[in-house]
A = this chain, B = another copy of it.
């Protein structure tokens, strides 16, 4: 199946293809205008501490929905969706170690599992592009550059660690506009956490990414850093929970919520 053929289908129909095993590739560019989401599934006994971690760190961890324990249905952001089957690819971690990458998690599902859906930067990137702010990694067909910083997250129970950020080079004269545009989307990481000198937040060399692709800065571009949805996964992995299930990088959950419904104002 080709990306071009399915990309403009409604989210429900794309999820149906994913559910039937007919689409297992990444979700970038699918269902444009609809919000996609990061996934973290944890046992109920860790759910309070993880939700508290998200509450204390809303920029890296903007929660879109939390399911009831054992209930695989996303009642708020996609009432017809089943979190066990509607993501193209999942990763299963036991005590922080990757043990499997699978196309559905039916056989791993348990009555005590709670799914956390967390806002994704695709939403604000699309708003930036609509505002004529260029995004170098999209121009180049690459992944956004992602770094571990020295900014500590506010800990909660077993969950602690540094904030992970994504960096987009923005032309100096558009930096103010980029802040305004992304400020409207607190549910998808919101305004930047840092502008300018990467060393100030513990990044010694922009060429050395921790995830994603090496960035390209044009003359006059300023590095602008946004809190990244990798943060809660990195933090949860470090806590080595007995079981944790996430989406595979880039293989997000496609919700029924339009990007424009997520604006703060």
Contact = CB atoms under 8 A, between A and B. Distances in A.
Interface in A63-84: 63, 66, 68, 76
Interface string A24-51: 0000000000000000000010011001
As for how many copies of this chain the complex holds, the number is: 2
B265 A191 contact: yes
B264 A186 contact: yes
A49 to B, nearest CB: 9
A55 B68 CA distance: 13
Contacts of A56: 66, 76
Nearest to A191: B265
A154 interface: yes
Contacts of A51: 48, 51-52, 55
Interface residues of A, number: 21
A183 interface: yes
A186 B191 CA distance: 15
21 contacts: A44-B48, A47-B48, A48-B51, A51-B51, A51-B52, A52-B66, A55-B55, A55-B63, A55-B66, A56-B76, A68-B156, A68-B157, A76-B154, A180-B265, A183-B264, A184-B265, A186-B186, A186-B264, A264-B264, A264-B265, A265-B265
Interface in A125-155: 154
Nearest to A51: B51
A2 to B, nearest CB: 38
Contacts of A264: 183, 186, 264-265
